[in-house]
Structure 1
Amino acid sequence: MTRFAYFDCFSGISGDMTLGALIDLGADAAAIQAAIRSMGLPDLSITTSDVKKCGFRAVSVQINHPPEHAHRHLHHITDMIDSAGEIDQAAKALAKRIFGHVAVAEAKVHGTTLEKVHFHEVGAIDSIADIVGAAVAITGLGITSAMASPVPTGTGSVKIDHGLVAVPAPATAEILCGIPIAPCSIAKELTTPTGAAILKELCTEFGPIPSMIVDSIGYGAGTMDLPDQANMLRVLLGHRHANESAGGHAHTHHDQVVVLETNLDDATGEQIADCANRLMDAGALDVTQTPCTMKKGRSGVVLSVMTRPDNIARLEELIFQHTPSIGIRRYVADRDTLPRQSITINTALGPVQAKSVTLPGGKKRVKVEDDDARRLADQHSLSTMEVRQLAEAGL
């Protein structure tokens, strides 16, 4: 089951508003509670209730737990997620990516590293529950693509652990880079870092409601009462053609990754290849080697590793352990990726796996997986080029 969701953020977005709307759409609150409890939070409970916002019904979510004063680092939260026995791998990965957006923003605005940055409000149990609960709900509902309206942030100021700051709060503003912001004169904080990070990860487009078939609509209530409008998030759940978007063209997906780099002039080719394989096995998104000239004219290699923010420590450990590197550079990079999916092509030689990529104009580009091409080539005494030609003819 694959579904498309449209986030109508006419009063902004927060974690609890998102979770309330998803539960209103049918996500199982009891299953979400069990999932979050399995993170080592056995005393946490989730209660939901129908409330009225300017006369309109919405689901309000309350996260109940014993008081705490812990300030967590990113690795504390990822360890909690990884240890959860009631959360499936897809939801774990989604939750960690959402936290990664918050971590990158917090590190930038505080001028520190991803390992050292403290989560304050977002590190509290209720915010952890909002993000992880939303990830469990999103995967449970089968949402695989999403779009949102431009996002109002509100105006004025808000008090956080670091004191009084302007709305949108610094981390929220950083997360919202690249996302259209709607004009709004309401002197309140309408969009939180948690809500902004959920949109950053899920949504590949922003604009008015697209052409879609709506199956159901969920309403999540915010905690504030606004005098002139209903403080709620509306999420439309339904279906949309995979390649349909504004203008009938597929759009790219925007996200942020971290690039790790080290220069090596005293490593053998075997060492570097072994390390590259270990990095890929450990979850690196990509590993490349670029020839370079280093000090005293020595030939060297720039080893570059692209990763999600939550996997930095593990990959740096592997680089230090399996190469002579004594230092690693790190920087955040924006990237745009095309929509893609794995497909099976039936050929006269048997099935072959391939990746189908949707280009911005809506056309498809298909590439046969190299391992499959080699397997069939070896079985039938052909070249991989002949296998690819057969596969392309079968499309």
Structure 2
Amino acid sequence: MNTNLHFDCLSGISGDMTLGALIDLGVDPDLIRTGLASLNVAELKLHVDDVKKCGFRATYIRVEHPEQKAHRHLHHIEAMIEAADAISEGAKTLARRIFQCIGEAEAKVHGCSLQKVHFHEVGAVDSIADIVGTSIAIDALGIDSVTSSAIPTGTGSITIDHGRVAVPAPATAEILTGVPLAYCEIESELTTPTGAAIIKTLASSFGPPPPMTPHRVGYGAGTRDLPGQANVLRVTLGERHDAAADPGKVESDRVTLLETNIDDATAEQLADVSQRLLTAGALDVWQTPCVMKKGRLASVLSVLCGGSKAAIMQNILFQHTSTIGIRRQILDRTKLSRRAVEVETAHGPAKGKVVTLPDGTERFSLEDDEAKRLATASGKSTSLIQNEAVENWNRQQKS
């Protein structure tokens, strides 16, 4: 059975909402309290209460502690986590990954090294408790995968230690690069840096819930009341049924497709921009012949890339083609799990890849550049080289 945890972030996500939802799901709050106590933060108390948001019950988390003004560095927080003897190694590892995610975003936003990043709001005791508490809860649930809806950030502006900033805050915006965002007009900070880092670290994909049988549902409450909707985070724990439930066989992710019609470029120019796009990190680039509205022959230039690369690809298209408009789509993609291998051949070692099919069997193929290299060196055809490499790999698996 593959146990999946799905986050419904209609009203955004924060650290306290996440911890509240996981406790509401059934995680023992005393397990969280014991782990947090081992952080050796004086007089830290975790309060768990039932509240109502727009008429719906949810669990509200409040961390009580003496006021502290200290700005912590990443190594201070990691030392606190490492010294906590009542927290499992799995929970410690997850907490460090979440703080690493925040630290890398803060370093980029402030233009400094990771070692010199000051954790302001996120370095406060309540945020540390939210992240560590969430890590303890996730580890206790023993889940196999995490999925999430798209993330709304809210609009407007907020005041942080560095002054007035637009929503999402700079660190939140940086953390959420590559994560699908949901449209939302609510003037409030719906997603905090802590919440963004938690969901980016945990979730393997974003979109509707995967095919699954729900077993338990939990609700975590935010502090504010929102107009027209309950300020709650819902988490659903259940058994996942789709092929992607086995991460060793079929995987899923989300990619961006950019397309533009070009009717005034030579074949050489299209080849040049295609190579530039691939060099810059495009997953794939292709051309499709088409006829435009005035009967002119043209090509549809298509670029597939990760969400974080979309702006780079767009700039290349605008700079190196005559296009004045680019279409964009966000696509869910299913792909076979793959790994790089090296196979021995009669002409020396060669690089290839192995993919795992849904039934668990494996398939090898030689990289095209390697086939061309060995064909040139041996005087044989690339197809013959490919066949020899496949036979050698199959033979090596049986030996």
Question: Into which bin does the TM-score normalised by the smaller protein fall?
Answer: 0.5 to 0.7
**Is the 8 Å Cα contact of residues 17 and 220 (structure 2) preserved in structure 1?**
yes
Name the SS for the 2:224 alignment partner.
coil
- Which position in structure 2 is the counterpart of 1:138? 138
Name the SS for the 2:93 alignment partner.
helix
1:365 Cα shift?
6.5
Name the SS for the 2:51 alignment partner.
strand
- Which position in structure 1 is the counterpart of 2:24? 24
Alpha-carbon deviations, 1:263-282, whole Å to 9, x = none? xxxxxxxxxxxxxxxxxxxx
- Which position in structure 1 is the counterpart of 2:13? 13
Matches within 5 A, 1:191-270: 191-241=191-241, 243-244=243-244, 249-251=250-252
Counterpart-to-counterpart distance in 2, 1:166 and 1:362: 45
> What is the one-letter code of the residue matched to 1:153?
T
**Is the 8 Å Cα contact of residues 251 and 339 (structure 1) preserved in structure 2?**
no
- Which position in structure 2 is the counterpart of 1:52? 52
Matches within 5 A, 1:246-395: 249-251=250-252, 362=358, 364=360, 388-389=397-398
> What is the one-letter code of the residue matched to 2:102?
V
**Is the 8 Å Cα contact of residues 35 and 84 (structure 1) preserved in structure 2?**
yes
- Which position in structure 2 is the counterpart of 1:147? 147
> What is the one-letter code of the residue matched to 2:24?
D
Extract structure 1 runs of 4+ deviating beyond 4 A.
337-340, 361-367, 385-388
1:388 Cα shift?
4.4
Counterpart-to-counterpart distance in 2, 1:85 and 1:365: 43
**Is the 8 Å Cα contact of residues 6 and 236 (structure 1) preserved in structure 2?**
yes
**Is the 8 Å Cα contact of residues 8 and 234 (structure 2) preserved in structure 1?**
yes
Name the SS for the 1:147 alignment partner.
strand
> What is the one-letter code of the residue matched to 1:251?
S
Alpha-carbon deviations, 1:23-67, whole Å to 9, x = none? 001111111111011011142111111100000000000101111
> What is the one-letter code of the residue matched to 1:149?
S
Counterpart-to-counterpart distance in 2, 1:114 and 1:363: 43
Q: TM-score, normalised by structure 2?
A: 0.64
- Which position in structure 2 is the counterpart of 1:75? 75
> What is the one-letter code of the residue matched to 1:92?
K
Change over 3 Å in CA distance of 1:365–1:13 after alignment to 2: farther
- Which position in structure 1 is the counterpart of 2:120? 120
Name the SS for the 1:130 alignment partner.
helix
> What is the one-letter code of the residue matched to 1:56?
F
Task: Percent identity, please.
Answer: 56
Q: Which is greater in Rg? A: 2
- Which position in structure 2 is the counterpart of 1:292? none
- Which position in structure 1 is the counterpart of 2:295? none
1:3 Cα shift?
2.2
> What is the one-letter code of the residue matched to 1:189?
E
The aligned length equals 274
Counterpart-to-counterpart distance in 2, 1:76 and 1:65: 18
Alpha-carbon deviations, 1:297-352, whole Å to 9, x = none? xxxxxxxxxxxxxxxxxxxxxxxxxxxxxxxxxxxxxxxx9879xxxxxxxxxxxx
1:242 Cα shift?
6.9
Q: Please provide the CA RMSD for this pair.
A: 2.7
**Is the 8 Å Cα contact of residues 250 and 358 (structure 2) preserved in structure 1?**
yes
Counterpart-to-counterpart distance in 2, 1:242 and 1:339: 15
- Which position in structure 1 is the counterpart of 2:324? none
- Gaps spanning 5+ residues in structure 1: where? 255-336, 341-356, 368-384, 391-395
Q: TM-score, normalised by structure 1?
A: 0.65
1:2 Cα shift?
5.8
**Is the 8 Å Cα contact of residues 250 and 362 (structure 1) preserved in structure 2?**
no
- Which position in structure 2 is the counterpart of 1:41? 41
Name the SS for the 2:134 alignment partner.
helix
